[in-house]
């Protein structure tokens, strides 16, 4: 069970603080809920039923500082997805976003950046589904990095590049 005040990742909502754990009556039945406040939208509130395994499975603890650094330093060695069928690729990316697996998010981001460069060389634009998946993956991953490292969201990518010794390209 998570504790009040803890920060958790919740699905594609990103990093949330557990504001409370309390009983609520939303459907003629009182249930115990985690009350989450997304850090990216402090006016929003998400109620997650404590006894609903499907909903609670979307909650996971945020990475530690060491885990963030380890993940950043693993980025250059991470592979890319080599799926060229746009429908299969879209489904793959959708499943990655639903799972929230950080290593898979890194691979998704890296894949789309690689694909973007290749398409630009050939005078083509990115697929809309790739661009959408990229934005969601970056939001999820960079928001978590920002929370853990005490950075602003917009400072995460420059921080990653400096950690990896990359110049702006």
The reported pTM is 0.85
pLDDT in tens, 8-63: 999 888 899 999 999 999 888 899 999 999 998 888 999 999 999 888 888 999 99
pLDDT for res 95 = 94
Looking at CATH, the fold of the domain delimited by 7-61 is given as Thrombin, subunit H (2.40.10)
CB-CB contact of 137 with 96 (8 Å): yes
Q: Provide DSSP, the chain.
A: ---TT-EEEEGGGEEEEEEEEEEEESSSSEEEEEEEEETT-TT--EEEETT-HHHHTTEEEPPPHHHHHHHHHHGGG--------HHHHHHHHHHHHHHT-HHHHHHHHHHHHHHHHHHHHTT-PPPHHHHHHHHHHHHHHHHHHHHHHT--GGGHHHHHHHHTTPPP-
pLDDT for res 169 = 46
CA pair distance 141, 133, nearest whole angstrom: 12
CB-CB contact of 82 with 70 (8 Å): no
Which percentage of the chain shows pLDDT scores above 70?
Answer: 98
CB-CB contact of 127 with 148 (8 Å): no
Q: Going by CATH, does the domain composed of 65-163 fall within 1.10.3470?
A: no
Hey, where are the domains in the chain? 7-61, 65-163
CA pair distance 9, 28, nearest whole angstrom: 29
pLDDT for res 14 = 86
């Amino acid at each position: 069970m998570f504790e009040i005040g803890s920060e958790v990742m919740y699905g594609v909502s990103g990093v949330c603080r557990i504001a409370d754990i309390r009983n609520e009556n939303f459907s003629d039945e009182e249930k115990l809920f985690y009350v989450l406040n997304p850090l990216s939208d402090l006016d929003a509130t998400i109620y997650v039923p404590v006894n609903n395994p499907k909903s609670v499975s979307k909650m996971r603890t945020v990475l530690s500082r060491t885990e963030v650094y380890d993940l950043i330093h693993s980025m250059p060695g991470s592979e890319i997805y080599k799926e060229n069928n746009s429908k299969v690729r879209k489904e793959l990316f959708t499943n990655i976003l639903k799972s929230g697996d950080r290593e898979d998010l890194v691979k998704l981001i890296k894949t789309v950046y690689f694909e973007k460069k290749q398409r630009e060389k050939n005078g083509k634009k990115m697929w809309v589904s790739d661009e959408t998946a990229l934005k969601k993956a970056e939001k999820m991953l960079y928001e978590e990095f920002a929370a853990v490292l005490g950075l602003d969201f917009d400072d995460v990518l420059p921080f990653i590049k400096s950690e990896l010794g990359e110049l702006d390209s």
